[in-house]
Amino acid sequence: MKLQKATRKKVKIRIGISGVSGSGKTYSALLIAHGITNNWDKIAVIDSENESASLYGDIGEFNTIQICAPYTPEKYIQAIKICEDAGMELIIIDSITHEWDGAGGCLNIIEELTKKDVNHNSYTQWRFVTPRHQAFIDAIIQSKCHIITTVRRKQDYQIYKNNEGKISVTKAGLKEITRDGFEYELTINLELDQLHNATSSKDRTGLFANQPSFIITEQTGKLIKDWCELGIDEIKDYTDKLESCTTVEELKMFKSILPDSLLKNEGFKKLAIEKYNQINKQEQKEYLYKENNEEYLTKYFEDVNIYNQNKMLTDEITKKIQHN
């Protein structure tokens, strides 16, 4: 156990994409994946959605692994390992919903265990299933590959009693079909609507947080790639280059070579704005000084000319008086 300074390192991204049927989860995941890797050969899709990923085979020759029922956590873990051993850079798990709510998934396993063991209710059976589900989550978190997961969403409902004691059911928005808390394991979580617009419900990168909804493209993946690859050395290098700028023109040239992830990084933006204000203020001072100095010199030379003219006139008058 050692206490040390926190440093920014290159990382492998964990992205969640959720939405209802037809919202574009698989296609969006593929676009982000290619933006990150720039190589279809290094992308693998673990497909439990009836080969839906293969429908997009025309956009690139990526790899697929088909998973069929039973959708046990162990089957997903095995598929992840196959992708890692094959040298994949990015794995898309499409979707994780089946591991939770599919045939042979966690909820189904609980149901079957409860039927077999009448002496224990479903709550007590979780002591057998939770470790299996957690092993699946750990396989995602600890993978040496970038991971994108897709998850289905469904209408959620709330049940409550009114003042008269009557039970009412109301709609409570859309809910991800996976175990509660999965979002905590992600770096970015994007929610898609039926028009394919994405909004972030969680974003540790700062690239999409508090931004208006947007359509996912390969550029989205490129932004994420830049963020992943910016380790402490790269950030320090760009910070040093920022500090070395001495004019507004140099700052403009420096901005043109910055990766998009740094342009959207709030911390770096703050440093750049402070540097700009500092340089701009200094340039304004120099300009005002120059203007004032020129004004002074102009007035000085005007006064000198008047003096010289008067002196010449005085000398001429003096000569005439002496001559007479």
Render 172-240 in DSSP notation, one character per residue.
EEEEESS-TTGGGG-SEEEEE-TT-EEEEEEESSSSSTT---EE--HHHHHHHHHHHH--HHHHHHHHH
In the chain, what are the domain boundaries? 14-229, 231-324
User: In Å, what is the CA distance from 7 to each residue of 63, 147, 208, 231?
Assistant: 35, 23, 22, 8
Buried b (16+ CB within 10 A) or exposed e, 1-26: eeeeeeeeeeebbbbbbbbeeebbbb
- For the stretch 65-115, pLDDT in tens is 999 999 999 999 999 999 999 999 999 999 999 999 999 999 999 999 988
Check residues 248 and 163 and name the one with the higher pLDDT: 248
Domain boundaries 14-229, corresponding CATH code? 3.40.50
Per-residue pLDDT for 175 more than 90?
A: no
Orientation of helix 122-141 relative to helix 73-85, angle to 10°: 10
- Asked whether the CA dihedral 135, 141, 142, 148 is positive or negative, the reply is positive
First to last CA, the chain: 109
Per-residue pLDDT for 224 more than 80?
A: yes
Residues 111, 116, 122, CA angle at the centre, nearest 5°?
40
Per-residue pLDDT for 126 more than 60?
A: yes
User: In Å, what is the CA distance from 223 to each residue of 31, 183, 265?
Assistant: 12, 21, 11
Instruction: Kindly give, in sequence order, each residue whose CB lies less than 8 Å from that of residue 128, ignoring residues fewer than 6 positions away.
Output: 109, 113
What pTM, to 2 d.p., does this model score? 0.72
The radius of gyration of the chain from alpha carbons, rounded to an integer in Å, stands at 34
